[in-house]
């Protein structure tokens, strides 16, 4: 009797082990898949659902279905229009300047100071800092009365500006902080592109007596274009969802002059608890980003 129960237990243990062994690959994958489902897939699906609902904070499960009402509200919401405009304004100016400076620096460093690794490292520091720290440092520097920038302005006889506090200068302040932080990224990408360029075509061009401009236009630029496209795409997508600097520097003000889409979504969702409308704006933002990136990739002919 005792022997048979021992045998039973042993066979159960064996069966369990066989089962575990057979399914080990699934078992080992399970935690990752569960986390992914919980943190990415579920919220995304939920966003699509709640975008068509009037979210009821007292009982989310009983939220009313309202069809496309949340999306219709986008048409008449001035604050949303303002946020959209500010986001485009920021993205256009910040990325253009970052790009001009980053490419310029890369060409300069590549040509003339290729071996000065120290300079390359120093140029990369801003990118390594957490965006929130960058924003806090700039906030302190921008302070109208006690900040270092206005102090320098006063010392050299310039009229001090209100920077992040002024309606006309707030967006400029956010752009400057972003350019300071992200130019190194463009620089690094362009530098990598330049470093991986073949030397033969350039030697041939030299033999043919091509000018620097001709070499840039006909050789450097075409070789660099795929890298430039990817860099632009990454920067534009990142700039389009700007949040941290606005949150720290201006809180979207003054008079909504720096209220970007991300910040507006945050306010609608977590200050006003209007989750359905916030989801609708998020979906709109996703569609714009997708359309734009597809267009850019096609245009730059690197989609395939």
Partner 1 sequence: MRARDGVLRQRRTYVGLVAGVATAIGMTAAAWAADLTLAVPVGSEGDGLRAAAADYEKLKNIKVEIVQAPYANLFEKAANAGAQKTGDFDIVLMDDPWLPFFAENGYLEPLGSYFKAMGTDGPDSDFLAKSLALCRNPYNTGPYVCLPYVGNAQMFFYDPDQFAKHGVTGTPKTWDDVIKVAGEITKEGGGNNFGYVMRAAEGNPVVADFMPIFWSYGGQLFDKDRKPNLLTPEAKQAMDVFLKLKEVSPPGVESFNADEVGTYMAQGQAASSINWPNWVGTFEDPNQSKVVGKIAYSPIPSGTHAGSSEIGHWLMGITSASKHKQAAFDFMVWATSPEQIKQSALRGNPPVRFSVFTDPELTSQKQFRHFPILMNAINFSTPRPRHPKWPEIENAFGAELSKAVAGQETADQALQNAQKAIEAIVSR
Of 126 and 160, nearer to partner 1 (C-beta) is 160
Stretch that binds partner 1, among 138-146, 177-185, 228-236, 295-303 (CB under 8 A): 138-146
Stretch that binds partner 1, among 95-103, 106-114, 155-163, 199-207 (CB under 8 A): 155-163
Q: Does 252 bind partner 1 (CB under 8 A)?
A: yes
Task: Estimate the crossing angle of helix 275-299 against helix 221-240, to 10 degrees.
Answer: 180
With beta carbons less than 8 A apart as the criterion, state whether 218 and 228 touch: no
What would the DSSP string read from start to end of 137-206?
HHHHHH-TTT-HHHHHHHHTTPPPP-GGGSTTTHHHHHHHHHHHHHHHHHHHHHHHHHHTS-SHHHHHHH
Q: Does 281 bind partner 1 (CB under 8 A)?
A: no
Size of the site for partner 1 (CB under 8 A): 37
- Binding pattern for the stretch 220-249 against partner 1, x by CB under 8 A and - elsewhere: ------------------------------
Q: Does 250 bind partner 1 (CB under 8 A)?
A: yes
Of 58 and 115, nearer to partner 1 (C-beta) is 58
With beta carbons less than 8 A apart as the criterion, state whether 242 and 87 touch: yes
Closest distance to partner 1 from the beta carbon of 20 (Å): 6
Q: Is the peptide bond before 254 cis (omega within 30 degrees of 0)?
A: yes
Closest distance to partner 1 from the beta carbon of 57 (Å): 5
Q: Does 39 bind partner 1 (CB under 8 A)?
A: no
Token pair for 239: 């700039």
Residues 212, 214, 219, 223, CA torsion sign: positive
CA distance 120 to 231: 18
Q: Which residues bind partner 1 (CB under 8 A)?
A: 17, 20-21, 24, 27-28, 57-60, 79, 143-146, 160, 162-167, 170, 250-257, 267, 270-274
């Amino acid at each position: 009797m005792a022997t048979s129960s021992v045998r039973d237990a042993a066979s159960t243990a064996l069966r369990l082990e066989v089962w575990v062994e057979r399914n080990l690959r699934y078992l080992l994958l399970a935690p990752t898949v569960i986390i992914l489902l919980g943190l990415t897939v579920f919220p995304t699906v939920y966003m699509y659902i709640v975008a068509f609902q009037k979210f009821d904070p007292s009982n989310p499960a009983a939220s009313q279905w309202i069809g496309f009402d949340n999306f219709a509200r986008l048409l008449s919401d001035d604050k949303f229009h303002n946020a959209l405009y500010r986001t485009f304004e920021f993205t256009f100016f910040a990325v253009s300047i970052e790009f001009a400076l980053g490419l310029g620096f890369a060409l300069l460093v590549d040509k003339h100071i290729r071996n000065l690794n120290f300079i390359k490292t120093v140029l990369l520091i801003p990118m390594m800092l957490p965006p929130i720290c960058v924003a806090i440092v700039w906030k302190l520097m921008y302070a109208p009365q006690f900040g270092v920038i206005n102090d320098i302005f006063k010392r050299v006889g310039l009229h001090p500006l209100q920077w992040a506090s002024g309606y006309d200068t707030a967006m400029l302040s956010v752009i400057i902080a972003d350019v300071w932080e992200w130019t190194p990224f463009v620089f690094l990408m362009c530098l990598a592109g330049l470093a991986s360029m073949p030397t033969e075509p350039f030697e041939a061009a030299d033999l043919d007596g091509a000018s620097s401009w001709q070499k840039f236009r006909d050789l450097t630029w075409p070789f660099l274009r795929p890298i430039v496209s990817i860099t632009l795409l990454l920067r534009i997508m990142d700039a389009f969802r700007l949040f941290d600097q606005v949150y720290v520097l201006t809180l979207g003000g003054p008079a909504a002059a720096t209220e970007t889409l991300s910040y507006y979504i945050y306010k609608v969702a977590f200050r006003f608890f209007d989750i359905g409308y916030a989801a609708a704006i998020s979906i709109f933002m996703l569609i714009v980003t997708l359309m734009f990136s597809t267009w850019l990739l096609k245009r730059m002919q690197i989609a395939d």
